[in-house]
Structures are given as structure tokens and as C-alpha cells.
């Protein structure tokens, strides 16, 4: 397939891998921020191809996984209100909250519909004027502009039964929080490709500048990732950390200005809770007051039971890159895609799901 | 009387009274007539000798009509294909319809016409049936159940447990066509893809394969759950390993593109007219050549083999030369977020 096959070329991949092997002399630890990268790395077995001294860790870049239990519980509670339709991206539906999941709520009669875009959620609102249609807004800078667009559109069109439960999150603040915590020692970061299409590379330049950590933004095909690893290894070996774009066909340093403008029109940064990480200052997106009639948090007041977590689940450690999925004692035993305990086993961008789905048989569940 | 083309199905059509009889006589019989059915006795009566294969399946596809087929064609192909996967020659089928009141008569006719065409193509006759009509909301337009029986020739022994180390795995064509064609029509996911469902009867293809080599060990049609799930079933049943080559699995470019866009894997997407065959290594090329002569097998390819290693598991060699497990489908296929 054009524009895909070129980035999956076996021979080129081997060439890059051999360049990396020649270049790489010291043990290094890289973190791929984005769950999409974790999946591509596992799906194409890239870790098998890379030299053993290069360790890869997944980061917190899975929007479903980092959604706080309390937010998920609220979405479930909203779904149980009468005359309500919940619209959501697919992954959310199976994630276990503190007491239930959207999937279980749906089986009990809640009207929960999977949509592929906010346009579809708006369409459902148009077609069901007697019902409150709530969109569960999750995702990073990638999805937030489209949700902002839907809200602006709803206002222009006078759609009054549409609202958004914003659980949106910003990526640079959480990277800073992870680096500040000092918990995880990493030498380089594979920066999020899709997010940077919107934000550009500039919001991440503080990483090499302030923390002397190598950075490169990668696409999601295997050759993209290998090229990115090559660039990171080169920066680390030469002790010259900086921000590089290894995904130039999609990313400009300044990002997508109209999308950012739209996002800033509707949302403003607010402190928010990341599952497994805790409250990170100014890392969430709250709907601005002038759009509050679309803010599900303002429209619906519900009493919630306190959120709770399964103590044995190590999704938090995995999201902070302090553990790999195989280090969790539940992984592949009590926690599988069929019976997920934590969100990382559910989402198509979750690290545990990737490690489990694409595991190598030789070493039991260990996909490394 | 049912005369008007704009007529719709009423609850009374399922009451067993006059309207029910008119429905059978004016709509069903003209399409499905054959000597066994035409007697309209309580049971179909016929003689069969030999080993019998017996299968049933229900069809609830939404929408009823899709590029490349409809629920009627699907209901015949599904059951005929299940019989064929035992090596059976399909002979007779039952047809049960659960109709939601309000279904346009025209749509019912269109489905019946398609059942007629497809059953004629397969040679399997509809010899008994039933119709129920339910109130609005109690069914989604039309549900169909078909049950079929067929005869398995004496020298044929086909089973998922039959795979042996060294056997080759043949796939009859491109995967994911049906699932993507249906998905593209669903609410909230309207996109246009130049892909039609692969819904097609495989009994003639299977007969041709068995004539070429009666030693075929295992046949399976990878429907829901896709190729990956079917391979896992064979691995588990035979307690052998399966090794496939990602590059060897035929996927239409449009299906791959749709999957890339939606974050799905064609290996897990439903098919309705494809089969996986596990065959003796020495017979593989001959069987493949014979499959390629049939329009329903023209894109057939050898995609892998049965191994002693990794018993019960399916391993895939990726395009880049690395290898990984290929698990069964877990839960629904869901779109990714970013």
C-alpha cells in the first residue's frame, strides 16, 4: 500500500538497525511517550531487532489509561441518568472504573454509543432533541481541538442538548512532572507523533534544554520508529541532547495553528488527576466559562462514591515508566484483555494490551 | 391479499391465520418451490444415506443489504459453508425468519430472491421453514436462522484436530472484505470504500479441492474473529503450533487502508466467503493450483505451516522478520482514539 509499505521495508529496517548497532556503545533507556508507539514497537517486534543495550519503556501516552477513575466513575454515573445518551470513543467502554464500566452500564440499559468523531456525537444530539447527549472528551492535544470544534459548532447551530465531560489532558506538563519526580532515569524520549502534529515540536524543547534528555518525534510506522531510535542513540552517544523531528512529513515546529487556536478558544488549562501519576498542575483542559452551557461538569451535579483502585494493579507504575507490564504480578494471569483489571490492558494504546497481544511465546509472557 | 408492492409486514402475517398462509403461498413458495417443500407438511420428509453433517446458524446482520450481499445470501452461504468445512455436500436446509413488523414487503422479497439465487448456486434446497412476526423494537427488521444437513463422502475425514506437523496452511483469498464492507455502512462510521463483502458459497470450491486431494486434514471458514481466531482454534484443537508469514496473507489495498485509518487489524476482521485449509505438504501446490482455477479461490495462497513448536499457539513472522504471537480476538473490535 502506497505511503505505508515504504515505511515497513524489511531491507531498509535492517540497514537502520545495523547502523544503530554500530553507533550504540553504552546501555541506554528510552521512553516512548505514546501508546501508539508502544503498540507499533510490539506489533512489528522492533525490540527483537534492536541491540540488547537499548531498553525501551512505555510512558503515560495512552489517553484512556491516564483517565482518572473518578472521571470514569462520573461518566458511568451520567450514563445512568434518565433521558441521557453517552457518546464516547470505543476504548473507553471496556475500561473498569471503581465499581463498574460503561460496558456494564450499557448492558443494564444505559444508552451508550461508540462514535468515531465528535461530528457523529453532534449528529446524535440533532437527531435526539429530547435527550441530553454527553460526549466523553478524552485524549490529548490530538482530540481536544475536534471537541472544541464540536462545541463551537453546537453553539453556532444552537444545539442545546449537547455537552462534553472534559477529561482532556496536555502532554508537556506530565512529561515535566515525570522528569521532576526523579523516579525514572531515562536517556531519551520518543516524543508523541500525533500530538506534535497539533502542538508542533516547540512545547517539548524544554526537555533537552532543562533536563539534558535526548528527544526525537516519531511517526508510527516501523521505519519511523527505528529512524527515531537512531537519532536518539546518536544524540546520546555524542552527548548532544536536542529536539529532532524524525517525522517531518507530518510535523512542523509551530504545529497546527488553527487547531491550537480553536482548542484555546474553548478550553483553558487546569490542574487535573492522571491515573497512576496524581494531580499534575495545569495539565488538564477545562471548558472556559463562556462555553459552560456545554460543560457536563457544570450541567449535571451528581454525588459520587469515592473512587478506588485495585491495589495489586501496577498500571500507575507502568504509566510512570517505573515498571514494565511483565513486572506486574497480575499481567497475563488475573489481568488479560478478556478480564482487564487496569486500563492499560484495555486500551488499544495501553502498554499491557500491547505486551500481551504481541508477546513472544519463547519467554512465556515476556515480550522483550 | 398481498398485492401492493408498498405493503409492509404486519403482526397478522405471523399469526398462523389467513395472512400467514398468503405470505407462504404468494411470497415464499414462488421463490423457494421444490417437491419436498411444496407438500407443506409439518416436516420435510426425505431420504439420506451415509455420514451426515448437521449445522445451524442465526443471522442478525445490520444493515440487511450491503455491497456484495444481503442477509438472505449470508444465511444460505453461512450454513452451506459450515457444512462444506466438514467436507460435506450440502443437501437440505431449513429457513426460519423472525420479522419485525413494518418490514417493507419489497425488502422481504429481495431477501427471498437472494436466498433463491444463492441456494440454487449451491444446490442445497430449502425444504422446511417458519416465520414469526414480532412487534416493533423486539427484533431489528429481520433475523434469519438456517439449519443445514449434508453428506460426507466415505473417504473424507476433516477436523480441526487433524492438523499434523509439516502440513501447509492455505488461505482461499483476501481477508477482511466482509467486515470492512459492513463497518463502512454503520452509523457513525460512514466512509466509502471500494470493497464488497466476500459473502459467497464455498461448497463447489471445497468439492473441487477434495477431488484434487481427498486427504485434506482440516477446513475452517474464518468468519467472526477473523483469520487469527480461526488459526488459534486449529492450533488449540490439534495441539500443534502454527507459523504464518504476515507477508503471505492476501489483503486488499482498500481493506488495509481502512484498517490503517481505523486502527484495526485485518487478521481479526470477519470474512464470509473464505476458507483456511490444512493440507499435506506434498499436496499443497496441487490443491492451490486447483483452488486458483475457481473464481472463489483465485487469490488463494499458502500462508504458513503446522509446527511441533509452540503447541496450541499461533506465531506470526512479521514483515520485518521478527516474530510474535497471534492471539484470538478479545472483545469487540474497537476504534482507537488517536
SS3 A345: helix
Which residues in chain A have their CB less than 8 angstroms from residue B327's CB?
A: 337, 356-357
Touching B: A residues 222-241, CB under 8 Å: 222
Q: Would you say A351 and A62 are in contact if contact means Cβ atoms under 8 Å apart?
A: yes
3-state secondary structure of B321: coil
Q: How many angstroms separate the CA atoms of B165 and A191, rounded?
A: 45
User: What is the pLDDT at residue A169?
Assistant: 97
Q: Return d(Cα A114, Cα A92) in angstroms, integer.
A: 9
Would the CB atoms of B320 and A46 count as touching at under 8 Å? yes
Distance from C-alpha of A30 to C-alpha of B14, rounded to nearest angstrom: 66
Calculate the CA A292 to chain-centre distance.
Answer: 26
**Residue A6 banded pLDDT, cuts 50, 70, 90:** confident
For residues A43 and A358, the answer to whether their CB atoms sit within 8 Å is yes
Contact assessment for residue A262 and residue A152, using Cβ atoms and an 8 Å cutoff: yes
For residue A254, give every residue at least 6 positions away whose Cβ sits within 8 Å of its Cβ, in sequence order, or none. Answer: A200, A202
C-alpha cell of residue A320: 510512570
Residues of B with CB under 8 A from a CB of A: 187-189, 253, 256-257, 260, 262-263, 310, 313, 315, 318-325, 327, 330-332, 334-338
Tell me the pTM.
0.86
List Cα–Cα distances, A239 to A27, A51, A208, A209, in angstroms: 14, 19, 11, 13
| Domains of chain A and any CATH numbers | 5-59+171-245 (3.40.50.11750), 65-170+256-299 (3.40.50.11740), 315-352 (no CATH)
**All structural domains of chain B:** 11-152 (3.30.1330.10), 160-325 (3.90.650.10)
On the 0-12 / 13-18 / 19+ scale of CB atoms within 10 A, A50 is: buried
Chain B residues with beta carbon closer than 8 angstroms to that of A140: 338
Contact A195 B338 (CB under 8 A): yes
Q: Do B262 and A116 lie within an 8 Å CB cutoff?
A: yes
Question: Exposed (0-12), middle (13-18) or buried (19+): which is B188, by Cβ within 10 Å?
Answer: middle
Question: How far is Cα B313 from Cα B225, in angstroms, rounded to an integer?
Answer: 16
DSSP E strands, B69-210:
69-70, 89-100, 125-134, 142-152, 168-171
B187-232 pLDDT per residue, tens: 556 667 788 999 999 999 999 999 999 999 999 999 989 999 999 9
pLDDT band of B5, cuts 50, 70, 90: very low
A363 pLDDT more than 50: no
Query: Which residues on adjacent β-strands are paired with residue B148?
Result: B55, B93
Confidence of residue B338 (pLDDT cuts 50, 70, 90): very low
**Residues A1, B260: C-beta atoms closer than 8 Å:** yes
Phi-psi category of residue A301: left, alpha or beta, with phi > 0 → left and psi -120 to 50 → alpha = beta
Report yes or no: B175 and B269 within 8 Å, Cβ to Cβ.
Answer: yes
Q: Give chain B's radius of gyration (CA, Å).
A: 21
CB pairs under 8 A between A and B: 107
Q: Which residues on chain B are in Cβ contact (under 8 Å) with A367?
A: 324
Predicted confidence (pLDDT) per residue in A30-77, tens digit: 999 999 999 999 999 999 999 999 999 999 999 999 999 999 999 999
CA–CA dist A43, B252 (Å, integer): 20
Chain B residues with beta carbon closer than 8 angstroms to that of A139: 337-338
Length of chain A: 368
Decide if A137 contacts A143 (C-beta within 8 A).
yes
Cα atoms in the Cβ-side hemisphere of radius 13 Å centred on B23: 26
Q: What is the ipTM of this complex?
A: 0.79
Closest CA to B257 of B332, B184, B172: B184
SS3 A356: helix
B50 in helix, strand or coil? Answer: coil
CA distance B167 to chain A (A): 21
pLDDT in tens, B82-114: 999 999 999 999 999 999 999 999 999 999 999
Q: Does A48 lie at the interface with B, CB-CB under 8 angstroms?
A: yes
Amino acid at each position: 500500500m502506497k505511503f505505508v509499505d515504504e515505511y515497513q521495508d524489511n531491507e531498509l529496517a535492517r540497514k537502520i538497525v545495523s547502523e544503530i548497532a554500530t553507533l550504540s556503545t553504552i546501555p541506554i533507556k528510552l521512553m516512548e511517550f505514546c501508546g501508539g508507539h508502544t503498540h507499533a514497537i510490539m506489533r512489528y517486534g522492533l525490540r527483537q531487532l534492536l541491540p540488547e543495550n537499548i531498553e525501551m519503556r512505555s510512558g503515560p501516552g495512552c489517553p484512556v489509561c491516564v483517565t482518572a477513575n473518578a472521571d470514569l466513575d462520573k461518566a458511568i454515573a451520567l450514563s445512568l441518568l434518565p433521558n441521557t445518551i453517552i457518546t464516547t470513543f470505543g476504548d473507553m467502554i471496556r475500561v473498569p472504573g471503581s465499581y463498574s464500566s460503561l460496558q456494564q452500564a450499557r448492558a443494564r440499559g444505559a444508552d451508550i454509543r461508540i462514535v468515531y468523531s465528535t461530528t457523529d456525537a453532534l449528529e446524535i444530539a440533532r437527531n435526539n432533541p429530547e435527550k441530553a447527549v454527553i460526549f466523553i472528551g478524552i485524549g490529548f492535544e490530538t482530540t481536544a481541538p475536534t471537541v472544541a470544534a464540536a462545541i463551537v459548532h453546537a453553539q453556532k447551530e444552537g444545539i442545546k442538548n449537547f455537552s462534553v465531560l472534559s477529561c482532556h489532558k496536555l502532554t508537556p506538563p506530565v512529561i515535566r512532572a515525570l522528569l521532576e519526580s526523579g523516579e525514572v532515569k531515562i536517556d531519551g524520549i520518543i516524543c508523541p507523533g500525533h500530538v506534535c502534529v497539533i502542538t508542533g515540536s516547540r512545547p517539548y524543547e524544554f526537555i533537552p534544554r532543562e533536563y539534558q534528555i535526548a528527544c526525537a518525534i516519531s511517526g508510527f510506522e516501523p521505519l519511523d520508529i527505528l529512524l527515531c531510535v537512531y537519532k536518539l542513540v546518536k544524540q546520546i552517544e555524542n552527548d548532544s541532547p536536542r529536539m529532532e523531528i524524525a517525522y517531518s512529513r507530518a510535523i512542523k515546529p509551530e504545529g497546527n495553528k488553527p487547531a491550537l487556536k480553536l482548542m484555546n478558544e474553548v478550553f483553558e488549562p487546569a490542574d487535573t488527576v492522571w491515573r497512576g501519576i496524581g494531580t499534575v498542575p495545569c495539565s488538564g483542559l477545562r471548558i472556559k466559562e463562556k462555553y459552560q452551557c456545554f460543560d457536563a461538569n457544570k450541567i449535571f451535579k451528581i454525588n459520587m462514591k469515592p473512587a478506588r483502585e485495585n491495589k495489586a494493579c501496577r498500571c500507575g507504575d507502568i504509566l510512570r515508566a517505573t515498571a514494565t507490564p511483565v513486572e506486574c504480578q497480575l499481567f497475563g494471569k488475573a489481568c488479560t484483555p478478556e478480564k482487564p483489571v487496569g486500563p492499560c490492558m484495555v486500551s488499544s494504546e495501553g502498554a499491557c494490551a500491547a505486551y500481551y497481544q504481541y508477546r513472544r511465546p519463547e519467554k512465556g509472557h515476556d515480550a522483550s | 391479499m398481498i398485492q401492493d408492492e408498498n405493503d409492509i409486514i404486519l403482526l397478522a402475517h405471523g399469526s398462523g391465520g389467513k395472512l400467514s398462509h398468503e405470505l407462504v403461498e404468494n411470497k415464499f413458495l414462488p421463490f423457494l418451490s421444490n417437491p419436498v417443500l411444496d407438500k407443506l407438511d409439518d416436516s420435510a420428509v426425505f431420504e439420506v444415506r451415509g455420514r451426515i453433517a448437521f449445522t445451524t446458524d442465526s443471522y442478525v446482520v445490520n444493515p440487511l443489504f450491503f455491497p456484495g450481499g444481503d442477509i438472505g445470501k449470508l444465511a444460505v452461504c453461512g450454513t452451506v459453508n459450515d457444512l462444506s468445512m466438514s467436507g460435506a455436500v450440502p443437501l437440505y436446509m431449513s429457513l426460519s425468519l423472525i420479522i419485525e413488523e413494518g418490514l417493507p414487503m419489497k425488502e422481504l422479497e429481495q431477501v427471498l430472491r437472494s436466498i433463491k439465487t444463492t441456494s440454487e448456486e449451491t444446490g442445497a434446497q430449502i425444504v422446511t421453514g417458519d416465520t414469526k412476526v414480532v412487534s416493533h423494537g423486539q427484533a431489528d427488521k429481520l433475523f434469519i436462522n438456517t439449519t443445514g444437513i449434508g453428506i460426507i463422502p466415505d473417504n473424507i475425514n476433516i477436523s480441526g484436530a487433524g492438523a499434523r506437523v509439516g502440513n501447509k496452511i492455505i488461505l482461499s483469498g483476501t481477508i477482511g472484505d466482509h467486515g470492512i464492507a459492513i463497518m463502512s455502512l454503520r452509523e457513525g462510521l460512514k466512509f466509502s470504500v471500494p470493497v464488497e463483502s466476500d459473502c459467497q458459497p464455498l461448497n463447489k470450491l471445497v468439492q473441487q479441492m477434495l477431488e484434487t486431494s481427498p486427504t485434506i486434514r482440516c477446513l475452517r471458514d474464518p468468519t467472526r474473529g477473523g483469520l487469527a481466531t480461526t488459526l488459534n482454534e486449529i492450533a488449540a484443537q490439534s495441539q500443534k503450533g502454527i507459523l504464518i508469514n504476515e507477508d503471505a496473507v492476501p489483503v486488499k489495498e482498500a481493506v488495509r487502508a481502512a484498517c490503517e485509518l481505523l486502527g484495526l487489524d485485518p487478521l481479526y476482521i470477519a470474512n464470509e466467503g473464505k476458507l483456511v485449509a490444512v493440507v499435506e505438504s506434498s499436496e499443497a501446490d496441487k490443491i492451490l493450483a486447483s483452488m486458483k482455477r475457481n473464481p472463489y479461490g483465485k487469490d488463494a495462497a499458502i500462508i504458513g505451516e503446522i509446527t511441533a513448536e509452540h503447541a496450541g499457539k499461533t506465531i506470526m513472522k512479521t514483515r520485518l522478520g521478527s516474530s510474535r504471537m497471534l492471539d484470538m480476538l478479545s472483545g469487540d473490535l474497537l476504534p482507537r482514539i488517536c
